Structure 1
Amino acid sequence: MPPTKEQDWQNKVRAVKQVQKWLDQDPLFLDTETTGYGQTDEIIEIAVMDLQGQVVFYSLVKPTKPIPHTSIAIHGITEDDVKDAPKWIEIYDTLVELLKNRTIIAYNAVFDWRLIEQTSAKYGLEMFAAEWKCVMNAYSFYKGDWNSKFGNYKWYKLKDAASSFGIRPKDPLHRSLADTHLTLELTKKLASIDLDTDLSLQAYDREKVEFVFPYVVVLGLIVMLFSLNVGWLLTVAGLIFFPIEIRLPKKRQKLLFNQALQEIEQKKWPNAVKTLEKLLSLNEDNDNARLLLTQIYFEKQEYEKSLAFANGYKGDKYRDTFLYISAVSLYNIKRYQEALDLLKLIPDDADLRENKFIWQGIILYELGDYDASIKALRKGPVRRRIPDDSMLRAKYYLAKAYLKKGNKKQAITQFRGVYQADVNYKDAARYLWELEEKVVS
């Protein structure tokens, strides 16, 4: 039987308060990657972070059986990756010392707990005691979408749960480090929710009622012309409840923002843009709406519009993000020097530092300063073991800069790295073929 709206609200409050308590217990955050989901599968990668996002433990793990291709397709961990990795029994004591009797937060904690237990059992090792907390369950109660088929709240994938709050992963998911970091960010976001202004079903229902009262006042004044008593009652009723509407704009903004997030999740871009622009018309200082609009126009390659919204930001919270998006937008419309000037405003120790260095290197390349380009690009993520778009972009332009400097050996090394990760990346294959042909000849 589905919960009532009142029960939904109570569950939402309970979930948030529960997560807030977890963070008071100096928790650790954990994620695993495995050979599969069955009763005989085992862990092949594990990561543990603290509340500050510091990695306190990470290791690949050599399994006792081959990794199925179906699992490799999900996380990308191959036999070659784990062939020199320690076995579970070799890292077990270190993990126990770290995790025993601690509060451990995971997304789908039951799965991670089970895989640790059954991997340990393969070596005759006992499961250690710990307080396991599941942020997947907490989020499902907060979200409040009832699953009639199973008679409980709907569970969401980690990526979708984080996306509902506008949290994007820094690295490709289905790897333990990236998933642990996203779990940490999602947990902190849930714990930061202000229950007094949260978007509950009650607030939504109350909005529809509150809108009635101004009309009740007007109606009462009109009716008073014909029936003094009835008109007087209507007017007084409206005036009593009318002050409630003063609180409504803030709630309506939150409703609109949530609506925009849902439209983005459903890829209804025109609807999302319309909703966010309406939200900014109500409050031009709504930083979250401005950031989403800036990002949407950037993704649509409407760089002038993206710049216009970014330039309207006056705060500090998202300063580096707006500077970064503005700089890349300026690059795409070939305003290179302006883009470079904005990137210099982003601190070298900011979260966006790697992307800052990449784009500095690319812009310096376009401006013909190849030495400075190489210096900046070498600070970017050119040595990541798991290739992503940032790494490939950095290696590609680093190769071109080396080529401009006449260093063909280094250019070949970088182009080969790009080609091995993605054979179709830009024109890296053509460069590599031409360079290697010249080297051979």
Structure 2
Amino acid sequence: MSNKIQSNAKFQSIKGFYDILPEATPLWFKLEDTARRVLAQYGYKNIRMPLVEPTELYVRSVGEHTDIVEKEMYAWEDALNGDKLALRPEGTAGCVRAVVEHNLTYNGPQRLWYSGPMFRHENVQKGRQRQFHQIGVEAFGFDTPEVDAEQIVLLARLWRELGIQDVELQINSIGDAHERAEYRNVLIAYFEQHADLLDEDAKRRLHSNPLRILDTKNPRMQAMCEAAPKLIDCLGDETRAHFDGLCKRLTEAGVAYKINPRLVRGLDYYNRTVFEWVTTKLGAQGTIAGGGRYDTLVERLGGSATSACGFGIGLERVFLLMQEYGVTAIDAPDVYLVNVGELAESAAFAIAERLRHANVEVVLHAGGGSFKSQMKKADRSQARYALILGDDEVNTQQVTLKPMQSEAQPDSKPEQVQCSVEQAIALILASRA
């Protein structure tokens, strides 16, 4: 059998990589626009980084023994120059690289955010894709718990404005490096006492990354992990005071939280505060946002010692949650311009441009057709108005403006008016108020 692909064969998207179709984009716009507005309220500025970074950036930041680096990263050697490159699996490392490269904290602390696709070779399921989208938020140069609390409160505001309910905030402190080193030894000793319960993944991580064992999804290990020593019991006075300060500010802001001593997050760069917002509405993929503090990462990637805190939002999961709660959005034009007759077809193009010049969104009917068929298309477009142009209207320099039937009053028959183009524009703009 020939291995040649037929010249007319249909292509399909790669597994885990998908198209966002026009019917879904209005809700995506609502999600993204709301997030941009909330981020601006808190003083965060947008930064845009490349999709491709040096592989070593992620090895050094995310951690050599994490799932991302060991199993999930799309990495390759550039055939042209031998550079080892990777598609970004997460955004923090690239943002820190940009901050260090451009010395962005020279004039003081920075609040930054970015958005776009990330890439991980994962098992595809609901809420988990190989190309997925995130909004990432990072604050550099702040060492007190106010910024940790600010980012969590920002997310609480975002959920309210998106119409998302019943998401639970889980928080923990994983301490600083010396505290985790002490806890690491305690944890290894504990797990060695229960070696018969460890699965192969846990055995592999026992000496390289034992904290990640606590995050296991293996039901057989759950009770044993629940009974493990708690990292929070190994915290020193300074770290404990930082965590208590975070809890105090969340309480003052009216944000409910649950302290989850098993919460460690999956990346090596975290210290002190870690948090996740979780839901029970999406099955196994219940985390819709998560992050924490990473005070050593900037220095690890070549910068000067700089405190930092940030989080990522999984946009696909938030999108699914918005649908779950019945949140809707419509991306409809102001006007569908119906034109019937030879003179009308000639005049319609120029009239559509006059409307657009006045900041009116217009879909111009093209391709002819009867008045009835064009009105059906106007209705399907969900435009607020049909602007009707026939040869008679061209001769009298008038148009007919017809409000389309209101969803709130489905049995009503909106009145149409004959008027000049300028009057139509005024009526359309006034109706937006």
What is the TM-score normalised by the length of structure 1? Answer: 0.22
Structure number with the higher strand fraction is: 2
Structure number with the higher helix fraction is: 1
Of structures 1 and 2, the one with the larger relative CO (CA 8 A, separation 6+) is 2
What is the TM-score normalised by the length of structure 2? Answer: 0.23
